[in-house]
């Protein structure tokens, strides 16, 4: 499902290669949205994070615990509730967030693999199509 998306970014945090993206939920077909429990709306975004272990050959996907929040430019916080999705050897963590047109959200996400904790920070502007 997620492999065809090119809006992906990657940050190397310790032994984790963290792939992340934030996109509008209307990007997904109704069928895929239904499978993953995504609410398709012009005002709903999806955060997709996957974590790969760069200390192992072939950088396999890691199971992690993940939590975070988003803050808009007015200082309002939105909690992110991540759900784990396993697809073959891939593991994704998905969270939904609502937004207004041209709203910038600043994400602050904590990732814990049991050995180390890492913090992922990024910002994304969302547009209502």
pLDDT band at 128 (very low <50, low <70, confident <90, very high): confident
- Do strands 90-98 and 117-126 pair parallel, antiparallel, or not at all (unpaired)? unpaired
pTM (2 d.p.)? 0.89
Its domain, for residue 38, covers 9-126
Is the pLDDT higher at 108 or at 33?
108
Q: Is residue 17 part of a domain?
A: yes
Q: Is residue 1 part of a domain?
A: no
Phi, psi values for residue 25, rounded to 5°: -70, -20
List the CATH number of the domain containing 19.
2.60.40.3340
Q: Is residue 28 part of a domain?
A: yes
What span, in angstroms and rounded, lies between the C-alpha atoms of 54 and 22? 23
Q: Is residue 3 part of a domain?
A: no
Q: Is residue 27 part of a domain?
A: yes
Q: Quick: pLDDT tens for 44-76.
A: 999 999 999 999 999 999 999 999 999 999 999
- For 39, 44, 115, the CA distances from 9, given in Å and listed in that order, are 23, 20, 24
- Paired strand residues for 61: 52
Per-residue tokens: 6: 């090119």
Q: Quick: pLDDT tens for 76-87.
A: 999 999 999 998
How many domains, in total, are found in the chain? 1
Phi, psi values for residue 119, rounded to 5°: -115, 130
Q: Is residue 4 part of a domain?
A: no
Per-residue tokens: 25: 């939920």
8 A C-beta contact, residue 29 and residue 36: no
């Amino acid at each position: 499902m997620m492999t065809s998306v090119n809006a992906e970014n990657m940050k190397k945090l310790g032994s984790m290669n963290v792939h992340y993206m934030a996109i509008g939920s209307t990007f997904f077909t109704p069928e895929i949205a239904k499978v993953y429990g995504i609410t398709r709306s012009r005002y709903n975004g999806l955060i997709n994070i996957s974590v790969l272990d760069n200390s192992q050959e072939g950088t396999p996907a890691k199971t992690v615990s993940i939590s975070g929040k988003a803050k808009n430019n007015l200082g309002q916080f939105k909690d992110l509730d991540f759900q784990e999705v396993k697809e073959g050897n891939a593991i994704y963590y998905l969270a939904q967030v609502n937004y207004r047109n041209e709203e910038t959200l600043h994400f602050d996400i904590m990732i814990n693999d049991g050995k180390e904790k890492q913090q992922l920070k990024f910002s994304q502007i969302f547009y209502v199509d």
